[in-house]
Chains A and B, each alone.
Chain A
Amino acid sequence: MSIAGALRLPEPPDLLRRFVPTPFMVRGQMDGISFCIWTNDARYLRLRGKVVGKVVSTKPELNWTLVCDPDLPSGLEEPLVLEVENAKLLGFGRACFVAAHPKSKALSGFIAAGISPEEFAETVLPVALKLCAESADD
């Protein structure tokens, strides 16, 4: 066995779950804002044309990467928004975090897998879209 093999060098870790693939895509529209969500959770496909409105514009205004995480606790708490220079940071307790970068019209975040796509669409989505819309108006 080579020394490299004997040393059993580790593979680089992904402790932060940065590289979880998000192959499922949902496009929708709410309050006049069109968006595109990329996620790792196929359950979100059932939101297509159902909970969220039909897409009018051909190009999404906001792109959102959303990772559903089985290890996050499920209870959504009162949202807290932290406004910093170039971003808005949204937390619903420990169950959901979103970073919104209005200039690049991009959002990314994590949500507890115990929260259903419908609850997401009713609770998290409107708040995040409102924040981005307000930033666009600034």
Chain B
Amino acid sequence: MRIQSLEKNALPISGELRVAGCRGSIRTNSFSVIHSLEKWRSDGIGEADFELAVLVQPTHPVALEPPMFRGRDGVIFATFHGTDLFFFDLVARQISAAVSEQTAGDAKFWNTVLIPIAIGVLGPMMGVAPLHSACLTSAGHGMLVAGLSGAGKSTLTIALAKEGFALVSDDWTYARREADDVSIYGLDVPVKLMPDTVAYFDELKTERLIRSMNGELAFEVDPQTKFGVQVSEQCEPDCIVFLQRSMGETSITPLDQSLARLFYERSAELLPAGLSKASEDRQKIIEAVTKRDCWLFQYSGNPQQGASVLKNFFEETYDVHCWRASAS
């Protein structure tokens, strides 16, 4: 039996992070982890909202092993690469991990996998509600795009970004209560597009499909480099658009705010009874977000046509003029 302490004296290298408006502290025994998290580094942050303790040890990761997640009460267990072990203590807002040297130096893993998961699971304990939505912004005006799986949310999102919106997120966004309002954050993760989207975006013709974390074959691309679109880390939302594919005419009609609220509530993981305060906080943030205008966007045709209709509607309704990449 190997016993490893993650106490402060065992992990002497430390740093501070800022992610989705939350302050984090990190302790580790390896500079590789600090370098991998460079993107989130912050100085002099005061009291941390969450703590990350990472022990780097000489194990050998198995790249093809799929990740695994389980949870019970206030604890979540996760494994990556077969040998990397993570424990999320929701009550203490602590992440404890033992990882290989290879994983420690894998910035892509930390930035696009671990940090989004950390904010997703610890978020409700820190006043952050993960929302199953894409998010775009233009001239300070934000738009959340929600929809059931398979509705074409990511495809429409890229088409909208190519119409001049800045992309905040294509799948999960993080709503944080700040002062009297709510801010929406993205975590700059790759955009995931299904194989059939290659029919709409020539840029994907040279891309290879990869096995994503949930086992689906998909394109996972950096939107800035692949499509030349703008990205933004954060925005304040003006409206929520619920996307639904239609066989009939394209239409945009008001949607009852209670339905948008219900959608976000039901797409979030249930929290255990012992975390009722976090559950209430999450509910309040969802209520605050869904006080915005809510629209049902039913569209047929290709994503470019849908994006054009939605862009014109957004510009007229909110008096915004989107910067268009092709016009530069």
> Contact residue range for chain A?
35 or more
Question: Is A7 within 8 A of B244, CB to CB?
Answer: yes
Contact residues on B (Cβ < 8 Å of other chain), bracket: 35 or more
| Chain A hits for B77, CB < 8 A | 91, 97, 99, 109-110
Q: A15: which of B2, B69, B85, B262 is its contact (CB, 8 Å)?
A: B69
Cβ of A78 and Cβ of B72 under 8 Å apart? no
Distance, CA A109 to CA B3, complexed state (A):
18
What residues on B are CB-neighbors of A89 within 8 Å? 85, 87, 96
CB distance from B321 to the nearest CB of A (A): 31
Q: Is B181 an interface residue (CB 8 A)?
A: no
Interface flag for B229 (CB, 8 Å): no
CB distance from B152 to the nearest CB of A (A): 15
Q: How many A-B residue pairs have CB under 8 A?
A: 126
Contact A10 B148 (CB under 8 A): yes
Q: Are A83 and B270 in contact (CB under 8 A)?
A: no
Within the complex, what minimum Cβ distance (angstroms) separates B80 from chain A? 10
How far is it, in angstroms, between the C-alpha of A14 and the C-alpha of B69 when the chains are bound? Answer: 11
Q: Which of B4-12, B183-191, B220-228, B311-319 contacts A (4 or more CB under 8 A)?
A: B4-12
By the criterion CB–CB under 8 Å, are B269 and A14 in contact? Answer: yes
A84 touches B6 (CB 8 A): yes
The yes or no answer to A125 lying at the interface (CB within 8 A) is: no
A56 contacts B by Cβ under 8 Å? no
Q: Which chain B positions have C-beta within 8 A of A81?
A: 1-4
A72 contacts B by Cβ under 8 Å? yes
Digit string of A11-29 for contact with B (CB within 8 Å is 1, else 0)?
A: 1111111110000000000
Q: Which residue of A lies closest to B8 (CB)?
A: A85
A99 touching B266 by the CB < 8 A rule?
A: no
Residues A16 and B70 in contact, CB atoms below 8 Å apart: yes
Q: A80-B98, A81-B4, A82-B6 are in contact. Are A94 and B72 (CB under 8 A)?
A: no
**A17 touching B71 by the CB < 8 A rule?**
yes
Residues of chain B in range 92-119 having any CB-CB distance to chain A below 8 Å? 92, 94, 96, 98
Inter-subunit contact A18/B2 (CB<8 Å): no
Contact check, A12 vs B268: say whether CB atoms are below 8 A apart.
yes
Q: Does B53 contact A (CB under 8 A)?
A: yes
Q: What string of 1s and 0s marks CB contacts (under 8 Å) between B254-287 and chain A? A: 0110010011011111101000000000000000
Interfacial chain B residues near A106, Cβ < 8 Å: 73
B295 located at the interface, meaning its Cβ lies under 8 Å from any Cβ of chain A in the complex: no
A101 to B8, CA, bound (A): 19
Starting from the known contacts A4-B262, A83-B3, A83-B6, 8 additional A-B residue pairs (CB-CB under 8 Å) come to A3-B256, A15-B269, A16-B71, A16-B269, A81-B2, A83-B4, A84-B53, A91-B85
B residues contacting A by CB (< 8 A) are 1-7, 53, 55, 65, 68-73, 75-77, 79, 82-83, 85, 87, 89, 92, 94, 96, 98, 148, 242, 244, 255-256, 259, 262-263, 265-270, 272, 296
26 contacts between A and B (CB under 8 A): A3-B296, A15-B269, A16-B76, A67-B70, A67-B72, A72-B68, A79-B1, A79-B2, A80-B98, A81-B3, A82-B6, A82-B87, A82-B98, A83-B7, A84-B87, A85-B92, A85-B94, A87-B89, A89-B87, A89-B96, A97-B85, A99-B72, A99-B75, A108-B73, A110-B77, A127-B1
